[in-house]
Structure 1
Amino acid sequence: MIDVAIARIEAVLLAAGVLLMAVNTMANVVGRYVLGESIFFSEELNQALIILITFAGISYAARHGRHIRMSAFFDAAQFRWRKALMIAIAVVTAAIMFLLTWYSFDYLLTQMRRGRLLPALQIPQWWIIVWVPLGFFLTGLQYTLAAIKNLIDPNIWLSTSTLEGYDTSAEEEV
């Protein structure tokens, strides 16, 4: 239930972030070329949205098994080796994501102590950085769950919801 709620929040954040960035950019272009005035906070807002989209997106991609993979050796291996590789990949990636969570959280605390404000928006700088450790943590959690699923299920899972393999149903119909 919690995982479903997090998935919905990620999807809403991604969709809203992309739409807001598009609207902000278009409004700034119209303002600049039609009205002769740029929106003074447009660049800062887009930077904040890029951070949000990037770090909400890495968790979303991990949840759906959509990260870029170099799988030539993986695809050529026998089933039991692919299974072991998938577990190792998920565990190592989760560990790296949790390490990055730690470092980015430390950076977030440093920025909070400094008390800097964004020049145009006049909001604390750490408000936009908060998505970095959160995104790394949720991604690490997704890879941990994928490792667990691979340990208890006989199939190979790229994520908790995505089975490994190619869809051959279209080829079979031909």
Structure 2
Amino acid sequence: MKYVVKGYDAVIYGMAALAAFLMAAMMVTICLDVLLRNLGYQSSAHFFTFTEYALLMIPCMGAPWLVREKGHIYVELLLMSLGERLRARMTVGIGLVCVALCLVLAWYGFDITWQNFAQNEKDVRSLDMPRWMVVMWIPVGFFLMAVEFARYLWRRENFLAPLQDIA
């Protein structure tokens, strides 16, 4: 079991690192595109396609890590007005809703990905790519977010960042 957890952790951190790399590569690509255009050269059509794909992949790859690090945002106004016991119950309820929503979106994303794979759909842009390879990160990301929220619930750990006191 220890190796499964280590492997899972490696997947989460690896996807986050890949998302960070894609974000940096996207920035370089956009800067290069602007530079080439300003110098009067024709930029590559692949720049735009790469940026579109990266804009889908980055949040899907980085979100599970963000949940793990309690980096997601939430409105704490209601939670701060509740007592400790009710706040704990509300947090569990929110966690259950998060798991359920992530699983529903993962299932729907898997269904779309599978249909694209089975029908051999292509995403035709400056470069032809099987569409399932583009959208597969949606079910992967949402499934791993569901796992992260479920881990917090299983450990009875608060998945929200500490509440801030109003000064």
Structure 1 length-normalised TM:
0.83
C-alpha distance in structure 2 between counterparts of 1:11 and 1:103, whole Å: 23
Q: For 1:83-102, list aligned pairs within 5 A.
A: 83-102=88-107
CA RMSD after TM alignment = 2.0
1:49 equivalenced with 2:54 (yes/no) = yes
Q: For 1:117-156, list aligned pairs within 5 A.
A: 117-150=123-156
C-alpha distance in structure 1 between counterparts of 2:123 and 2:90, whole Å: 45
Q: For 1:50-89, list aligned pairs within 5 A.
A: 50-89=55-94
Q: Which consecutive residues of structure 1, in runs of 5 or more, have no partner in the other structure? A: 151-155
- Amino acid in the other structure paired with 2:33: N
> Could you tell me which residue of structure 2 aligns to residue 104 of structure 1?
109
- Amino acid in the other structure paired with 1:103: Y
**Is the Cα–Cα contact under 8 Å of residues 44 and 118 in structure 1 kept in the other structure?**
no
Equivalent pairs: percent with the same residue? 21
Deviation at 1:35, TM superposition (A): 4.2
C-alpha distance in structure 2 between counterparts of 1:117 and 1:74, whole Å: 44
Provide, for residues 47-99 of structure 1, a one-character-per-residue CA deviation record: whole Å limited to 9, x for no partner: 11011111122212211112221121211211111111111111111011001
C-alpha distance in structure 1 between counterparts of 2:132 and 2:43, whole Å: 25
- Amino acid in the other structure paired with 2:88: K
Q: Which consecutive residues of structure 2, in runs of 5 or more, have no partner in the other structure? A: 1-5
- How many positions carry a matched residue from both structures? 160
Q: 2:163 aligns with which of 162, 165, 168?
A: 165
C-alpha distance in structure 2 between counterparts of 1:109 and 1:134, whole Å: 13
- Amino acid in the other structure paired with 1:122: D
Deviation at 1:165, TM superposition (A): 3.4
Q: 1:29 aligns with which of 18, 26, 34?
A: 34
- Amino acid in the other structure paired with 2:107: W
Structure 2 length-normalised TM:
0.86
C-alpha distance in structure 1 between counterparts of 2:87 and 2:59, whole Å: 29
**Is the Cα–Cα contact under 8 Å of residues 40 and 120 in structure 1 kept in the other structure?**
yes
- Amino acid in the other structure paired with 2:128: Q
